[in-house]
Amino acid sequence: MSQAPNATLIKQFVEETIKLAGFGDLQPNFRVQYQNKIEMALLKKIGVSLNNMLDDKQVVALGQFMEKNPNPQPEELLSFYRERIVDLDEKLKNVLRDFQLDFIKNSASALQGLKVA
C-alpha cells in the first residue's frame, strides 16, 4: 500500500470482507447502506490506529498540521503519518487484516437473520 487508501480501494476491501463473512447475497438496498457503515467504521479504525501509533510530540504536530490544513487530502495525511511512523505500510496492512478478521468473526451471528433466503 504505497499510496493513500482511496475510496475505490476501501470500497473493494469492504466488498471483499462482506463476501468473506458469507454475506454476498444481502438485499441490494440493505447491502449499500450496510457497506457504507462498514466503510465509515473502517476509516475510523484506520484513523484511531494511526493516531495511537504517534508519540506525544507527534500528536501535538498532528494538531498543528490539522489547524493549518482543516480538510487535508488523504495523500497529505498519509504523508504526515509516513514521515513519523516506521513501517507504516506494514502497520496499515495489519490494521486492515485485523479489521477484516474481527468483522468476519463478529458479524456471522449478528447478520444471520438479515440474509436473503
pLDDT band at 69 (very low <50, low <70, confident <90, very high): very high
Question: Does residue 27 fall inside a structural domain?
Answer: yes
- Reply yes or no on whether the pLDDT at 62 is more than 90: yes
Question: Does residue 1 fall inside a structural domain?
Answer: no
Instruction: Give the type of residue at 54.
Output: L
Domain that holds residue 30: 7-114
Question: Does residue 18 fall inside a structural domain?
Answer: yes
Question: Does residue 16 fall inside a structural domain?
Answer: yes
Question: Does residue 2 fall inside a structural domain?
Answer: no
Question: Does residue 20 fall inside a structural domain?
Answer: yes
pLDDT of the residue at 2: 42
| CA distance linking residue 73 with residue 26, whole number of Å | 33
| CA distance linking residue 54 with residue 60, whole number of Å | 9
Question: Does residue 33 fall inside a structural domain?
Answer: yes
Question: Does residue 91 fall inside a structural domain?
Answer: yes
Total domain count, the chain = 1
| CA distance linking residue 64 with residue 25, whole number of Å | 45
Question: pLDDT digit string (tens) for 1-27?
Answer: 444 456 788 899 999 998 898 888 888
pLDDT of the residue at 29: 85
CB atoms within 10 A of CB 5: 16
pLDDT band at 113 (very low <50, low <70, confident <90, very high): low
**Mean pLDDT confidence for 32-56:** 93
